[in-house]
A = this chain, B = another copy of it.
Amino acid sequence: MDIVVLGSGNVATHFGKALSDAGHRVVQVYSRTKANAKILASAVKADAIDKLAELDLDADVYLIAVKDDAIGQVVTQLPSSLEGAVVHTAGSVDIEIFAAHVKRYGVMYPVQTFSIAKSVDFSMVPIALEASDEATYTQLVRLAGSVSKRCFFCDSRQRLALHIAAVFACNFTNHFYAIGADILGEYSLDFDLIRPLILETAQKIMAHQPQEVQTGPAIRNDIGTMQKHLKLLEQSHQDLVSLYRQMSERIYSN
């Protein structure tokens, strides 16, 4: 298919390259900052544009991968006459954002965290699909299916819940890694000491449900150990005392 990518960030870059690698033709990359558009455009041999007035009107799919709160602005600037499917990639933006503006639309939300520095095997990335009509849905199944083996239907409400689950399991989890790093630094210990533990914790739930493999003082109701932890936190990390208590109570009562 002929695709226009709108956006030049992490999702636009990884998704755009994966689509190009799968044999689709990325015809244009749009970004408000032309230099950013050019980086992705040159990687996928597309034209770089920085004005929506220059948009190719004959593409099969317009993939909007900009910041969540900028999607609305982009959509309202698109010509309502477009025949191609207009699609966004966000977890928490309802499909109805398109309804008053374009004819055919949908969502392809890749459930993964992308960084510029690290490549990701797109074939294993689950992609949540939703569309305005059956023909468009079929088109998105073909398109997403050409880059990933794990495409599935997901309505906007489910997708929002999926995004929240991802925030807990990815963003909030990363902050716990950061808390670990902080505590270690305070006691002149290197973050590297808990890296194997972090990796093992994630690998363990690849084949198990997390509830089944919960470990630590809270699940054992090891009050002595938890009291030692709280005493040290009260001395050096007062801001973590309440969070430690809450998490321990949740784990024990789960």
A: residues with CB less than 8 A from B are 67-69, 92, 111-113, 115, 118, 120, 124-126, 128, 150, 152, 154, 157-158, 160-181, 183-184, 186-189, 191-206, 209-211, 213-220, 222, 224-225, 228-229, 232-233, 236, 243-244, 246-247, 250-251, 254
Contact = CB atoms under 8 A, between A and B. Distances in A.
Interface of A is mostly: helix
Contacts of A186: 161
Given A128-B193, A161-B186, A174-B214, 7 more contacts: A92-B229, A111-B193, A150-B193, A160-B232, A162-B193, A175-B251, A195-B205
Contacts of A246: 243
Contact of A120 (B120, B166, B184, B200): B200
Nearest to A94: B228
Number of copies: 2
Nearest to A184: B165
A148 B95 CA distance: 53
A211 B84 CA distance: 40
A196 B112 contact: yes
A222 B67 contact: yes
A187 to B, nearest CB: 4
A194 B250 contact: no
Given A222-B67, A246-B243, A170 B228 contact: no
Contacts of A187: 157-158, 161-162
Contacts of A247: 172, 175
A161 to B, nearest CB: 4
Given A124-B196, A204-B118, A246-B243, A176 B173 contact: yes
B115 A213 contact: yes
